[in-house]
């Protein structure tokens, strides 16, 4: 059969389409964005009328996917790892409500923080919620697991966590596809109170979840994705999770691995296999792409029962991604040699694109803030975060989406004057709006700059919910009309903008200034498409 | 047969088209392939790279091990040096020599060329100039593929087929220009290595 050449993200997307998904919900975030983008491009998804529009944020995505499951159809939500923090309330509770139609929560982690604020390992959330978790090791498994995950979700009425990592999400390989399945019919849950988490019901359902753990463990023991291969040299046994398995096998291309290897791609941990490898082998090396989760579980707090090696004893680095070299070094103790990067090679930090409106906005802000000194600008996540770097040095924070407005509020409450928030349009509708409401309620003395480039720029230009709505949203939240001001960030408007921001700083209350000019990248794409 | 190739350049230079042509040719030759999406700030002038692995056996790691790359194929000279830790002892650095200078501390070009000269196997090529002289300045990437074609382990005709497949929609003229560029890169390398 002909294979399709797909990224890990795309293989999962093709998998859920072929496995009869009716709706996908997501907010963009590297390295997960390509999953939704693939579904949006897919002809089959269009023919089957699969829901495939972006959501306002990860929480609304997760809840909508759960709602579709409630109605009996198969659904998936997808996000980057920090997105699961936003969706965590729904995620944790959905383990207790359970599912009706099969549902998958896909989370793409970014170890080594290639484009993220942290490298949290989502498998910990799976364990936290007591939810079965899949961690594909290659593109084919991404595809196959979509079927498996929907089946398991419907068999046990439980959502499934699907954890990807950057290198798999963003690497292409041949994938063999299966016959496409029908979607589910609309079918409400048999128990109409299943999703009502009143304490009395929640307690019952929580006990069911606990009782199911043994069955989930059994599923992991029988799973085609967890594989035990015996080896003659039992001095070391190797537990390799997700793509760490590839980094191990990369070292045994022309010879057989002499050690017993337990490949893990489905959790909870397969107890029987773990018992076998730990009892038969002198020591156990745990390879995980991310946090030492399995290692900690096996080692226990005191670490005094088994000889476990991994990230905690220094066999592997405590943080960052793995690679084939680190794995073989942990196994053999032999260091690897490599040519160093010549000293003359200079860093090429990312920059604003030529002509970007953010440049003009920051030139204005920098001029205004000269009067007050550094330290007054709380910002957020997006292309505009690049203003933390030279030559701008304009902003003083970037923590989590939406935090600019609320941190500026807290700082204003503490007496900081002026207190300025800088946020992007998509970030504002993601989770800036609620914070602005807090500020309006207390009439906090602050200025909010919403840098509106009418797209979700940082992640490649996905549609922004904010387009044409920012002024009415701010009005609706109660910001005074006279203090919602749209400006066009262009050199010729520099003086005007300086004057406006100065004036709004002097106003004692909430002001919102909205520099609005289209992103150069989306503009370029549109011009090209129109040619 | 196993070839591990690091593709490198600066965001916006289009290393993806190189990956796509070689990737198509590899699949068309019945080989296994893994190819990492362009990694880095592709739209914002930062450094970008992609790991491309081709083999007649199953490939495990999506990443090329340090010290394992057969080829660093770079469309910018300083960027070819950034990935030297990946280069195998007998690996090749094949790089365009036109600097993409978008930073204040870009090193002296002669220093870059000295460093490239220290690599035992290297080909330094003015791919921009060759593409321009063919009247196809946008085909610089295809010149680079041609320059590397001798060490890719893929039939040259498969690379041509890859170009036909990828540029086919844009018409015969564009296809032919790109194939011409591919061939020009190939003959440049052959002459370079004769010297
Ligand atoms: C919770 C969370 N979700 C997603 C992301 C990924 N992300 C970072 S910036 C950004 C979009 C920013 O868009 P916008 O606010 O419009 O600013 P722009 O990049 O267009 O300037 C996204 C989706 C993230 N860091 N955190």
A326, A369: one domain? no
Return d(Cα A513, Cα A75) in angstroms, integer.
Answer: 39
A464, A396: one domain? yes
Return d(Cα A223, Cα A220) in angstroms, integer.
Answer: 5
Higher pLDDT, A336 or A367: A367
% of chain B with per-residue pLDDT over 90:
88
Last residue of a domain, one of A211, A239, A267: A211
| Residue B43: predicted pLDDT | 64
Q: List, as one string, the DSSP characters of B86-131.
A: GEEEEEEEEEE------STTPPPHHHHHHHHHTSSEEEEE-HHHHH
Kindly report, residue by residue over A292-332, the tens digit of the pLDDT: 999 999 998 888 888 999 999 999 999 999 999 999 999 99
Residue A530 pLDDT grade (very low, low, confident, very high; cuts 50, 70, 90): confident
Stretch B156-166: mean pLDDT: 95
Domain presence at residue A47: yes
Domain presence at residue A350: no
Q: For residue A174, give the H/E element and its range.
A: strand A171-175
Return d(Cα B102, Cα B109) in angstroms, integer.
Answer: 14
For chain A, how big is the Rg over CA atoms in Å?
Answer: 25
Is the confidence at residue B100, as pLDDT, over 80? yes
Is the confidence at residue A1, as pLDDT, over 60? no
Residue B14 pLDDT grade (very low, low, confident, very high; cuts 50, 70, 90): confident
For residue A355, the chain B residues in CB contact (below 8 A) are: none
* Yes or no, beta carbons of A346 and B105 under 8 Å apart: yes
H-type alpha helices, A281-420: 293-299, 324-332, 357-369, 403-413
Chain B nearest-CA distance from A317, in A, is 16
Return d(Cα A412, Cα A162) in angstroms, integer.
Answer: 41
Q: Residue of the nearest CA to atom 7 in ligand 1?
A: A29
Kindly list the distances between the CA atom of residue A320 and the CA atoms of A138, A382, B124, in Å, as whole numbers in the listed order: 20, 23, 34
Residues of chain A by 3-state class (helix, strand, coil), percent to 5? 45, 15, 40
A48, A187: one domain? yes
**Residue of A108, A324, A332, A339 to mutate for B, most B C-beta atoms under 10 A:** A339
Is the confidence at residue B25, as pLDDT, over 60? yes
Q: Residue of the nearest CA to atom 6 in ligand 1?
A: A29
CA of A397 to the centre of ligand 1 (A): 14
CB contact set of A116 (below 8 Å; sequence gap of 6+): A30, A80, A81, A82, A110
A127, A61: one domain? yes
Last residue of a domain, one of A182, A211, A240: A211
Domain presence at residue A466: yes
CA of B48 to the centre of ligand 1 (A): 21
Q: SS3 of B2, please?
A: strand
CATH code for the domain in which residue A248 is found: 3.40.50.920
Structure tokens at A417: 């004057």
For residue B32, the chain A residues in CB contact (below 8 A) are: 173-174
| Residue A400: predicted pLDDT | 98
A380, A326: one domain? no
Kindly report, residue by residue over A245-254, the tens digit of the pLDDT: 999 999 999 9
A124, A65: one domain? yes
Return d(Cα A480, Cα A525) in angstroms, integer.
Answer: 36
Domain presence at residue A340: no
A438, A315: one domain? no
* Yes or no, beta carbons of B86 and A345 under 8 Å apart: no
Return d(Cα B49, Cα B40) in angstroms, integer.
Answer: 7
Kindly report, residue by residue over A230-248, the tens digit of the pLDDT: 999 999 999 999 999 999 9
Domain presence at residue A219: no
| Residue A349: predicted pLDDT | 86
Q: How many domains does chain A have?
A: 3
* Yes or no, beta carbons of A170 and B36 under 8 Å apart: yes
Last residue of a domain, one of A211, A241, A256: A211
> Which residues have any ligand 1 atom within 6 Å of their CB?
A 27-29, 58, 80, 82-83, 86, 381-384, 401, 424-427, 453, 455-459, 464
Q: Considering chain A, what is the average pLDDT of its residues?
A: 97
| Residue A510: predicted pLDDT | 98
Phi, then psi, of B55 in degrees rounded to 5: -160, 155
Of the partner residues B45, B68, B112, the one whose CB lies closest to the CB of residue A344: B112
CA of A93 to the centre of ligand 1 (A): 26
Q: Which residues of chain B are at the A interface, by a Cβ-Cβ cutoff of 8 Å?
A: 2, 10-11, 23, 27, 32-37, 39, 41, 43-47, 51, 57, 59-63, 65-68, 78, 81-82, 84-87, 102-103, 105-108, 111-112, 115
Kindly report, residue by residue over A147-195, the tens digit of the pLDDT: 999 999 999 999 999 999 999 999 999 999 999 999 999 999 999 999 9
A99, A206: one domain? yes
Domain presence at residue A337: no
Structure tokens at A350: 């990312």
A181, A234: one domain? no
Structural domain harbouring A46:
3-211
Strands (E), A476-525: 484-487, 510-515
Domain presence at residue A64: yes
CA of A385 to the centre of ligand 1 (A): 10
Stretch A379-391: mean pLDDT: 95
Stretch B52-60: mean pLDDT: 96
A288, A433: one domain? no
CATH code for the domain in which residue A464 is found: 3.40.50.970
User: Cα angle vertex B116, ends B114, B119, to 5°?
Assistant: 115
Q: Could you give the domains of chain B?
A: 2-194 (3.40.920.10)
Domain presence at residue A221: no
What ipTM describes this predicted complex? 0.94
Q: How many other CB atoms sit within 10 Å of the CB of residue B114?
A: 12
| Residue A326: predicted pLDDT | 97
Residues for chain A: how many in total?
A: 531
Stretch A384-393: mean pLDDT: 95
Kindly report, residue by residue over A468-515, the tens digit of the pLDDT: 999 999 999 999 999 999 999 999 999 999 999 999 999 999 999 999
Kindly report, residue by residue over A444-474, the tens digit of the pLDDT: 999 999 999 999 999 999 999 999 999 999 9
For residue B11, the chain A residues in CB contact (below 8 A) are: 350
Q: List, as one string, the DSSP characters of A92-134.
A: HHHHHH--SS-EEEEEEE-TT-SSSS----THHHHHHHT--EE
A378, A502: one domain? yes
H-type alpha helices, A250-292: 271-280
Of the partner residues A172, A338, A383, the one whose CB lies closest to the CB of residue B85: A338
In our burial notation (b when 16+ CB lie closer than 10 A, e otherwise), range A257-268 reads eebbbbbbbbbb
Is the confidence at residue A105, as pLDDT, over 90? yes
* Yes or no, beta carbons of A338 and B82 under 8 Å apart: no
Q: SS3 of A15, please?
A: helix
* Yes or no, beta carbons of B63 and A167 under 8 Å apart: yes
Lowest-confidence pick of A63-67, A69-73, A147-151, B9-13: B9-13
Residue A264 pLDDT grade (very low, low, confident, very high; cuts 50, 70, 90): very high
Q: How many other CB atoms sit within 10 Å of the CB of residue B89?
A: 9
| Residue B42: predicted pLDDT | 58
Return d(Cα B23, Cα B29) in angstroms, integer.
Answer: 10
Return d(Cα B195, Cα B189) in angstroms, integer.
Answer: 10
% of chain A with per-residue pLDDT over 70:
100
A206, A236: one domain? no
């Amino acid at each position: 059969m002909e294979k399709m050449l797909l990224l890990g993200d795309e293989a999962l997307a093709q998998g859920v389409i072929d496995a009869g998904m009716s709706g996908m919900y997501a907010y963009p975030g590297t390295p997960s964005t390509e999953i939704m983008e693939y579904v949006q491009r897919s002809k089959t998804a269009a023919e089957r009328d699969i829901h495939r529009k972006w959501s306002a944020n990860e929480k609304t995505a997760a809840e909508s996917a759960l709602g579709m499951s409630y109605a009996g159809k198969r659904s998936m939500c997808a996000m980057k790892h920090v997105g699961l923090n936003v969706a965590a309330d729904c995620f944790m509770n959905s383990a207790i409500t359970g599912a009706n139609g099969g549902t998958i929560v896909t989370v793409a982690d970014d170890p080594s923080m290639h484009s993220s604020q942290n490298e949290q390992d989502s498998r910990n959330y799976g364990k936290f919620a007591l939810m079965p978790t899949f961690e594909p090791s290659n593109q084919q498994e991404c595809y196959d697991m979509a079927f498996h995950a929907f089946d398991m979700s419907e068999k046990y009425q439980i959502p499934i966590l699907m954890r990807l990592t950057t290198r798999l999400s963003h690497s292409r390989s041949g994938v063999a596809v299966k016959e496409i399945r029908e979607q589910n019919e609309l079918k409400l849950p048999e128990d109409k109170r299943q999703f009502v988490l009143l304490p009395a019901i929640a307690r019952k359902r929580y006990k069911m979840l606990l009782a199911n753990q043994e069955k989930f463990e059994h599923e992991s023991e029988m799973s085609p994705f967890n594989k035990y291969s015996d080896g003659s040299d039992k001095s070391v046994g190797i537990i390799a999770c997700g793509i760490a398995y590839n980094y191990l096998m990369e070292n045994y291309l022309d010879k057989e691995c002499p050690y017993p290897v337990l490949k893990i791609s489905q959790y909870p941990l397969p107890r029987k296999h773990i018992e076998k490898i730990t009892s038969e082998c002198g020591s156990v090396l745990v390879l995980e792409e991310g946090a030492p989760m399995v290692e900690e579980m096996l080692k226990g707090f005191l670490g005094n029962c088994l000889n476990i090696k991994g990230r905690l004893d220094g066999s592997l680095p405590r943080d960052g991604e793995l690679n084939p070299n680190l794995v073989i070094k942990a196994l053999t103790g032999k260091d690897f040699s490599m040519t160093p990067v010549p000293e003359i090679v200079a860093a090429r930090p990312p920059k604003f694109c030529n002509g970007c409106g953010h440049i003009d906005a920051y030139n204005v802000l920098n001029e205004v803030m000269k009067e007050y000194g550094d330290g007054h600008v709380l910002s957020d996540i997006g292309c505009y975060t690049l203003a933390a770097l030279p030559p701008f040095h304009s902003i003083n924070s970037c923590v989590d989406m939406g935090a600019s407005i609320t941190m500026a509020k807290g700082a204003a409450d503490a007496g900081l004057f002026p207190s300025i928030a800088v946020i992007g349009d998509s970030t504002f509708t993601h989770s800036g709006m609620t914070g602005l409401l807090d500020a309006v309620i207390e009439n906090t003395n602050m200025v909010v700059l919403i840098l509106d480039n009418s797209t979700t720029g940082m992640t490649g230009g996905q549609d922004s919910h904010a387009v044409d709505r920012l002024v009415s949203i701010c009005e609706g939240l109660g910001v005074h009309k006279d203090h919602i001001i749209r400006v066009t960030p262009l050199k010729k408007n520099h003086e005007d903008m300086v004057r406006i921001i100065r004036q709004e700083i002097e106003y004692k209350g909430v002001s919102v200034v909205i520099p609005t000019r289209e992103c150069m990248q989306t503009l370029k794409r549109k011009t090209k498409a129109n040619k | 047969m196993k070839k591990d190739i690091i593709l490198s350049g600066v965001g916006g230079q289009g290393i993806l088209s190189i990956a796509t042509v070689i990737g198509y040719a590899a699949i068309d030759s019945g080989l296994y392939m893994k190819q990492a999406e362009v990694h880095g700030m592709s739209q914002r002038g930062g450094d970008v790279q992609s790991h491309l692995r081709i083999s007649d056996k199953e490939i495990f790691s999506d990443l090329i091990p340090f010290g394992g790359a057969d080829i660093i194929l770079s469309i910018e000279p300083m960027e070819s040096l950034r990935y030297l830790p990946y280069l195998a002892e007998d690996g090749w650095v094949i790089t365009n020599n036109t600097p993409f200078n978008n930073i204040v501390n870009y090193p002296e070009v002669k220093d870059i060329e000295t460093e490239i000269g220290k690599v035992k196997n290297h080909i330094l090529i003015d791919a921009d100039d060759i593409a321009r002289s063919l009247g196809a300045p946008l085909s610089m990437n295809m010149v680079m593929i041609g320059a590397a074609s001798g060490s890719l382990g893929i039939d040259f005709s498969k690379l041509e087929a890859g170009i036909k497949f990828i540029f086919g929609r844009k018409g015969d003229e564009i296809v032919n220009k790109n194939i011409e560029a591919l061939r020009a890169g190939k003959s440049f390398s052959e002459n370079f290595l004769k010297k």
